Amino acid sequence: MLSREEKLIEEYENILSKDDFSIGEQELNKLLKGYKKTYKQLNKIIKISDLQQVELKDLSESLNVKTQKTRSLLDNADQGFLSFTHDCIIDEEYSRECIKLLGNSLAGKNFANILYPDDQKSNIFLQETLENVLNEKDPMIKEVMLSLLPDEVILNRRAIKVDYKIVSADKFMVVLTNITKERILEKKIKQEQEILKMIVAVVSDPDQFYELKDDFISFADNKSSFINDNLPFSVNLSEIYRDIHTFKGSFSQIRMQVTAHELHALETKLSELKRGGEYSNTDLSLLLDESNINQWMDKDLAIIGEILGKEFFEKQHKLVVDDKFMFNIEDKITQLLHSDTRHITTYETILSEINKARGISVNQALSSYPKLCQDIAKITDKVIFDFKVTGGEDVLMPLHFKPFIKSLVHLFRNAVDHGIEDLETRLINDKSEKGLISCHVEDHSEYIKIIISDDGAGIDVDRLKGKALQAGIVDQNKLLVMTNNEVLNLIFHEGLSTNEAVSQLSGRGIGMNVVKVEVEKLSGQLDVESQMGKGTSVTLKIPIAIYGNLINIAANSRDNITIEYILSPVINRVTSFLQSDMGFNLNRQAIFTYTTMQKVGLKKFTSYIHISGLVEVSVCMSFDQFLLDKLLEELNHGHKVLQEELLEYRQSVSMEVLNIIIGNALFNPYDHSILKITSPNIIEHDELTTEGANEKIAHVIIDTEYGEMQVLVGRF
Amino acid sequence: MDTLEIIATKSSPEINFNAQTNVLSIVGESYPENTAQFYEPVFEWLDIYLTELSEQQVTVNMELIYFNSSSSKALMDIFDILEEASDDGKNIVLNWIYDEENDAALEYGEEFAEDIETLTFNLVEK
């Protein structure tokens, strides 16, 4: 490189070695020129070299920054990146996640040893495969070989996904991903699926489940008796082994996995005994005793119970019978009852038993409400005590009570949403943190009382008065003479709510009215009591005994008491029909009288209906013309009727009203064979003639603002 | 005269000195293990070429991204040779080609240009 300079130096050394120091000017000039040139070049080289150093430093710095950035990206990638050469020795550079997944100080360590510290086979397989990959030329085959490596390992209780990549001729990169969460989730989903399969298996064949459960319980309880000491060990062992194996198969079939798993484990132990040969009957019974066989089903049963409800286990030994079949039996018994009145009590008992089998108790019908209250409490951020409906276990719920029972949801909602105060208010008022809600059923044989109470804020009577005025439900004068209790009962009036905000739960002023309507449909009564700061209690009184009592009455079917049992629900229904449905005011309470006169005077329009079956009685309703016209107007929605059609209309209204009232008052789906109601008819006379002398007839006068009506019940 | 063609390697530039077109180009990086040995044929070729050269215009294109110190010595020797030829009345244009983004390459070109007197030394942005 420096050949020119070297030549110069050599040249001048030669001159100097001549010892005569005779250097001419020309030579000196050449020397100087050469020196200058060298100096210039040196100078330039130094300058450029310095520039290059600066640039190099800049480059290296920016490279450092880039490296840092890349590293930071990799470190925060939630994936581990590392590389190694053919010998599996991990390189210096690896991302932070690798430390988390594989441990500290990875550089220089053998990747295979870290990944499979205790699994020699996998360890060797990995190393050999990687080496083979490097030796292979064909990239396709390389890929195939890599794909054969296990892509998932469990290390330090973590599931790690391992991806191998070839980065250069002698280098592998590994990407590690922590998939523990995914695996746990997958496991959970799988468990849920297994549980679902178990439930489906159990539900689709409950008898098989019950039988297997009982068999296994009996096996677990009597396991020692399965070992016959008089028989050789091998015979006993085979016997037990077979039993266990069969149970395992059966439990697997209905997917009771935990139980099946335990049985499998025992089976394995038993097969060890089988192989060992030097055991005795004592060892066998010891093994059975040590295994807590009677607890093996617990987990599976707990899950089944949790999902299907504890009642599921109680359904065992129960029979499903078609409703029609029951009705047919009832029909036959009723026919017998008519022809054979001597054994009426026996028939009554049988009918009542059949009924019990078919229905649910009032208590059961209400049993979903405590949970509902808890749910509402959760939504409304309140806390209430757990409670159970008390009483009413022996009162069969008539089917037609269903809408009424459903309507009670409004009372329970109100109790939690409006009644129970929030935690802070309760504490300020020295109340327990948890609100108290209760529901009690009283059985009075002829009627039941359902009392729903809360220990909440109570109803603000003054505010209620204001609301009632505002809604136009009462006027100031009426309010003045109303008792507190009467005011409170305004909450059942349509369109009145004491709650300002209309929430999804309550406050529209409709709910309470729904309860009232349903109660009245059943000829029941309702009453609310409330004390500010102490709580509210709603009592619902519902007649329930018509059915049962009619059977009693039938025993003395010519007794006058028949009249009263028909009368009471009918009159209840008449008054609620006039007041609630028609919106008429009553001038006074209904007047009840009895008469034995053979002829009873009637009003202008009269219709009657005949009830037969268990009882033989007729009901007759007789209307003042003005009242009937008002009813006509209501039922005809205000449409005027042509004069020539008026008579016909009046007659049909009188029949219609009678039909509605009797239908509603005596309607009972169970009664269809016991009570038969004819179509209504018109009486065109102005008096009624009874069947015989001394026949007692109930005579009730109901006085409305538009005139009177008579209700007559008896035999005529 | 034959064209001098040396294929680029990782550490040495591509050399293409064409006596027919009179375009001589050096492109690439220059940090050969033995710089003297690498540039020896270049100097030899140049010697003969410049001796034979008459009136034609010669274009020398240099596009070097990186070069080490001994390569800069070689480059300066080439400049000297070209400068001398230019002094002798040869028509030579040297283009120092640099990338727009490579400030350093421009600076080196400026450094080299500083001591050139008669040779036409252009700094050309690529």
For B107, the closest of A2, A45, A51 (CB atoms) is: A51
pLDDT of residue A669 exceeding 60, the answer is no
Q: Do the Cβ atoms of A702 and A709 come closer than 8 Å?
A: yes
Question: What is the ipTM, given to two decimal places?
Answer: 0.84
- Domain membership flag for residue A25: yes
> Where does the pLDDT of residue A502 fall: very low under 50, low under 70, confident under 90, or very high at 90 and above?
very low
**Pairwise CA distance, residues A70 & A147, whole Å:** 28
Does residue A301 share a domain with residue A422?
Answer: no
Please answer yes or no on whether B111 and A3 come within 8 Å at the CB atom: no
For residue A553 the two structure tokens come to 């009455």
Please answer yes or no on whether A3 and B70 come within 8 Å at the CB atom: no
List chain B residues with CB under 8 Å of A55.
104
Q: In this structure, which amino acid lies at residue A464?
A: L
Question: Which residue of chain B has the CA closest to A55?
Answer: B104
What number of other Cβ atoms are within 10 A of residue A518's Cβ? 22
| pLDDT at residue A657, rounded to an integer | 92
- Domain membership flag for residue A101: yes
For residue A311 the two structure tokens come to 């009642």
Q: Do the Cβ atoms of A697 and A716 come closer than 8 Å?
A: yes
| pLDDT at residue A644, rounded to an integer | 84
Element (H, E) at B113: helix B103-114
CA distance A41 to chain B (A): 7
- Domain membership flag for residue A210: yes
Q: Which residue in this structure is represented by tokens 């063609």? A: B5
Element (H, E) at A134: helix A120-135
β-strand pairing of B4-6 with A687-689:
unpaired
For B73, the closest of A41, A47, A51 (CB atoms) is: A41
CA distance A49 to chain B (A): 6
**Of the candidates A202, A232, A443, A402, the residue with the CA atom closest to the CA atom of residue A313:** A202
Q: Do the Cβ atoms of A107 and A92 come closer than 8 Å?
A: yes
- Domain membership flag for residue A69: no
> Where does the pLDDT of residue B94 fall: very low under 50, low under 70, confident under 90, or very high at 90 and above?
very high
Helix B103-114 to helix B69-87 angle (10° resolution) is: 50
β-strand pairing of A591-595 with A697-704:
antiparallel
What number of other Cβ atoms are within 10 A of residue B85's Cβ? 20
Q: Which CATH number among 3.30.750.24, 3.30.70.2860, 3.40.50.1220, 3.30.420.10 corresponds to the domain B4-125? A: 3.30.750.24
Does residue A631 share a domain with residue A708?
Answer: yes
> Where does the pLDDT of residue B3 fall: very low under 50, low under 70, confident under 90, or very high at 90 and above?
very high
Does residue A708 share a domain with residue A570?
Answer: yes
**Pairwise CA distance, residues A574 & A608, whole Å:** 14
Q: Which of the listed ranges A24-28, A505-509, A649-653 does the model predict with the highest average pLDDT?
A: A649-653
Q: Which residue in this structure is represented by tokens 């690498």? A: B38
CA distance B91 to chain A (A): 23
> Where does the pLDDT of residue A414 fall: very low under 50, low under 70, confident under 90, or very high at 90 and above?
confident
Of A145, A178, A211, the residue that ends a domain is A178
What are A322-329's contacts with CB under 8 Å, separation 24+? A323/A358, A326/A354, A326/A357, A326/A358, A327/A672, A327/A673, A329/A354
Please tell me chain B's helix, strand, coil percentages from 3-state DSSP, rounded to the nearest 5: 40, 35, 30
**Pairwise CA distance, residues A368 & A359, whole Å:** 16
Q: Which residue in this structure is represented by tokens 């009136």? A: B55
At A361-396, the pLDDT tens digits run 889 889 889 988 998 898 888 999 999 999 988 787
Q: In this structure, which amino acid lies at residue A137?
A: K
Enter the pTM of the model: 0.41
> Where does the pLDDT of residue B125 fall: very low under 50, low under 70, confident under 90, or very high at 90 and above?
very high
Distance, CA of A300 to chain centre: 20
CA-CA-CA-CA torsion sign (A66, A67, A68, A72): positive
pLDDT of residue A508 exceeding 70, the answer is no
**Pairwise CA distance, residues A133 & A170, whole Å:** 10
Does residue A435 share a domain with residue A412?
Answer: yes
Looking at per-residue pLDDT, the higher value among A154 and A594 belongs to A154
Question: Which residue of chain A has the CA closest to B115?
Answer: A40
Does residue A533 share a domain with residue A454?
Answer: yes
Does residue A299 share a domain with residue A268?
Answer: yes
**Residue A137: CATH number of its domain:** 3.30.450.20
Does residue A372 share a domain with residue A343?
Answer: no
pLDDT above 90 as % of chain A: 27
- Domain membership flag for residue A67: no
* A253 strand-pairing partners: none
Does residue A566 share a domain with residue A695?
Answer: yes
Please answer yes or no on whether A41 and B76 come within 8 Å at the CB atom: yes
Helices (H) and strands (E) in chain A, counts: 28, 18
Does residue A523 share a domain with residue A403?
Answer: yes
**Of the candidates B108, B111, B47, B48, the residue with the CA atom closest to the CA atom of residue B81:** B47
- Domain membership flag for residue A233: yes
CA-CA-CA-CA torsion sign (A70, A75, A76, A80): positive
Question: Which residue of chain B has the CA closest to A56?
Answer: B104
> Where does the pLDDT of residue A127 fall: very low under 50, low under 70, confident under 90, or very high at 90 and above?
very high
**Pairwise CA distance, residues B81 & A283, whole Å:** 107
Between A101-105, A513-517, B109-113, the lowest mean confidence (pLDDT) is in: A513-517
Q: Do the Cβ atoms of A362 and A491 come closer than 8 Å?
A: no
List chain B residues with CB under 8 Å of A1.
35-36, 39, 70, 73-74
Q: Determine contact: A62 vs chain B, CB below 8 A.
A: no
Question: Which residue of chain B has the CA closest to A48?
Answer: B108
> Where does the pLDDT of residue A6 fall: very low under 50, low under 70, confident under 90, or very high at 90 and above?
confident
3-state secondary structure of A431: coil
Selected residues 86-125 of chain B with any CB under 8 Å from a CB in chain A: 104, 107-108, 111-112, 115
In sequence order, what are the residues at sequence separation of 6 or more whose Cβ sits closer than 8 angstroms to the Cβ of residue A205? A254
Between A339-348, A424-433, B97-106, the lowest mean confidence (pLDDT) is in: A339-348
3-state secondary structure of A435: strand
Q: Determine contact: A55 vs chain B, CB below 8 A.
A: yes
The total domain count for chain A is 6
Q: What is the largest CA-CA distance in chain B?
A: 39
Does residue A666 share a domain with residue A609?
Answer: yes
Stretch B15-42: mean pLDDT: 94
Of A314, A343, A371, the residue that ends a domain is A314
**Of the candidates A98, A120, A119, the residue with the CA atom closest to the CA atom of residue A109:** A98
Does residue A109 share a domain with residue A16?
Answer: no
Mean model confidence pLDDT for chain A: 84
For residue A27 the two structure tokens come to 């030579």
In sequence order, what are the residues at sequence separation of 6 or more whose Cβ sits closer than 8 angstroms to the Cβ of residue A54? none
Q: Domain extents for chain B?
A: 4-125
Burial (CB count <10 Å: 0-12, 13-18, 19+), residue A317: exposed
Does residue A611 share a domain with residue A535?
Answer: no
Please answer yes or no on whether B72 and A37 come within 8 Å at the CB atom: no
List chain A residues with CB under 8 Å of B77.
4
What number of other Cβ atoms are within 10 A of residue A625's Cβ? 13
In sequence order, what are the residues at sequence separation of 6 or more whose Cβ sits closer than 8 angstroms to the Cβ of residue B58? B22, B23, B24, B90, B91, B92, B93
∠ Cα A630 A636 A640 (to 5°): 80
- Domain membership flag for residue A7: yes
At A18-61, the pLDDT tens digits run 766 667 788 888 888 888 888 888 888 998 888 888 888 888 99
pLDDT of residue A624 exceeding 80, the answer is yes
| pLDDT at residue A365, rounded to an integer | 87
Domain residue limits at A57? 3-61
**Pairwise CA distance, residues A334 & A73, whole Å:** 87
Please report which residue ranges of A298-443 form alpha helices under DSSP H.
Answer: 298-308, 311-314, 323-339, 344-358, 362-366, 369-379, 402-407, 409-414, 423-428
> Where does the pLDDT of residue A73 fall: very low under 50, low under 70, confident under 90, or very high at 90 and above?
confident
**Residue A416: CATH number of its domain:** 3.30.565.10
pLDDT of residue B63 exceeding 60, the answer is yes
Please answer yes or no on whether B73 and A2 come within 8 Å at the CB atom: yes
Between A203-217, A536-550, A598-612, the lowest mean confidence (pLDDT) is in: A536-550
CA dihedral A147, A148, A151, A152 (to 10 degrees): 170
Helices (H) and strands (E) in chain B, counts: 3, 6
* A173 strand-pairing partners: A83, A165
